[in-house]
A and B are shown apart, each in its own frame.
Chain A
Amino acid sequence: MNGRLAARLAAMPLSGRIGFALVLFWLVVAVAGPLTAPHPVGKFVDEEVFSPASAQHWLGSDYLGRDVLSRLMWGARYTVLLALGAAALAVATGTSIALFAAIRGGLVDEVISRAMDTLISIPSKIFALVLVAAFGSSLALLMLIAAFTYIPGNYRIARALAVNLVGMDFVQVARARGEGAIHIAWREVLPNMIHPLLADMGLRFVFIVLLLSGLSFLGLGVQPPHADLGSLVRENISGLPQGASAILSPALAIATLTVGANLLIDALKGGGEA
């Protein structure tokens, strides 16, 4: 297993390896960061606000005088895990529905496809606003909203792939053997579309990171005193004219995370097709 991963990595172009390193770095920060954070996330540690990096505060202090490094470590956890969870949920749900629609076909396919159009055409941020107003804000709801937003997109891709595969000989053979729909979906169709689906999940991950930061602009992000990376950028935006570390660090974090994920996806895609 490890050997295959190493071989895969070695075969990647440099950009893919950089992407892998960036993604791995942020995964490690997300998991271990909060354990090593020098200060509690909501603690007021500095009398000055927007102070530059120093020995005590490696990334300076934020608009209220809290430690940016500690907040960034927590923020990375929220952003990475929320986005990863939501992306996985979106892809799992979207693909399951797509397989169902593709294998059943006909009216079922038509109704599901229209339902997906319905979802996609409601502006996601406004939909989020309604849901938060109705159910209150929570991490689970945020993840559901993000997942919901990207189910239709994944559905479109997965359905297109699955419809192609369903028409192929080996699936027809399986059908003739009398295999059930679940067997066909799970054993025959899914394994043949796993690569593009993984790439799609990576893409959704990037979109969700950005969607979450958009939601935080509207005050719908992770609740204070915690903050995801997008909220960190948002709450410190008045430090932008002076180029405060409090806003540059989280912005850079988002940028490296999304670029890293994109580079990795590109490399995987190339490898998958070859």
Chain B
Amino acid sequence: MAAPAANAPVWLGLTRVVLQRIASALLTLLLVSIVIFAAASLLPGDAAQEVLGQSATPEQVAALRHEMGLDQPAVTRYLDWLAALLGGDPGRSYIADMQVTELIGARLVNSLSLAGITALVSVALALTIGIVSAINRGSKLDRALNIVTLSLVALPEFLIATVFVLLFSVKLVWLPSIAMVSPEATWSEMLRSMALPVACLTFVVSAQMARLTRAAVADQLDRPYVEMARLKGVTFRRIILFHVLPNAAGPVLNAIALSLSYLMGGALIIETIFSFPGLASLMVNAVTSRDMPLLQACAMIFCAAYLALILIADIVAILANPRLRS
């Protein structure tokens, strides 16, 4: 990125790609909000009934419905919500008597930290495993790593999580079994309490990334240009770093982005087992209490996170691979 003049067309192209993608991302977000709204309207009951309990009088329910605006037609409610959101206000929770932003705030930070730390660990691990086994493909090491990654995906994550807790918390007493991040906790405490959830999620997402990395890198290694470069006397290390990896970046980054998007919404089971106050369990809570504004906000966040990841993956792939830049 040091030669600005030569790269000017790249930035131009990139800007166009980013703008295009942001436009289509907005379209996707709109679609998601419609799907969520429609799916949630299929659910029996509504927030007013949830708040008042089973045998509240019809008058009570009707009054609360009116107050919540639930007596409006569904389309009106949706458009009102959309208008407010475009104005920057995701609304007020029906159930908890708090702003949605207030409910989500701390949990978003939690979910992002969990996903972020897991991403750092698992991407590093997966790339190492994938590249090492691709370079040594066919060797004993490759086969051993293959078996390791295969067994990683072979078990349900709740079983892995439970085994970890039994081993590291109950038996060894090394790490906490619950991952409640208190606001007053120090950094090191936070990292300790998140160690087990991070380890479990790493197990879940790394294997697939590693296997795809191996496949992509091995595919490049078999191409003629690698042999050519070797004959020219380029060091193997240089070939890997400057030729193979940039060319393999596209599929690898795509796989990474897909796996990482799982870390936000897919962490539900891990959140449940470790009592981790994250967004996925909040969204489940929103579903069961019919708390539409909260549900929509969570869905928007998950969708945006996914789209952002895919976009970043594409941009990095373009930057990494000279051939894609033109």
Contact = CB atoms under 8 A, between A and B. Distances in A.
Contacts, number: 125
B79 interface: no
Interface in B249-287: 258, 261, 264-266, 268-269, 272, 280, 283-284, 287
B155 interface: yes
B36 A210 contact: no
B321 interface: no
A114 B288 contact: no
Contact size range, A = 35 or more
Contacts of B266: 123-125
Contact size range, B = 35 or more
A130 B265 CA distance: 14
B302 A255 contact: no
Contact of A114 (B24, B162, B268): B24
Interface string A239-268: 011000000000100110011001100100
A123 B269 CA distance: 12
B284 A121 contact: no
- Classify the secondary structure of A's interface with B: helix
Given A118-B28, A218-B268, A230-B156, A134 B302 contact: no
Given A117-B307, A123-B265, A133-B43, A240 B156 contact: no
Contacts of A127: 39
A217 interface: yes
A60 B291 CA distance: 45
B44 interface: yes
B151 interface: yes
Contacts of B258: 153
A126 B31 contact: no
A129 interface: yes
Interface of A: 15, 110, 114-115, 117-127, 129-131, 133-135, 153, 206, 210, 213-214, 217-218, 230, 233-234, 237, 240-241, 251, 254-255, 258-259, 262-263, 266
Interface of B: 24, 27-28, 31-32, 35-36, 39-40, 42-44, 143, 146, 150-151, 153-159, 162-163, 166, 170, 258, 261, 264-266, 268-269, 272, 280, 283-284, 287-288, 299, 302-303, 305-307, 310
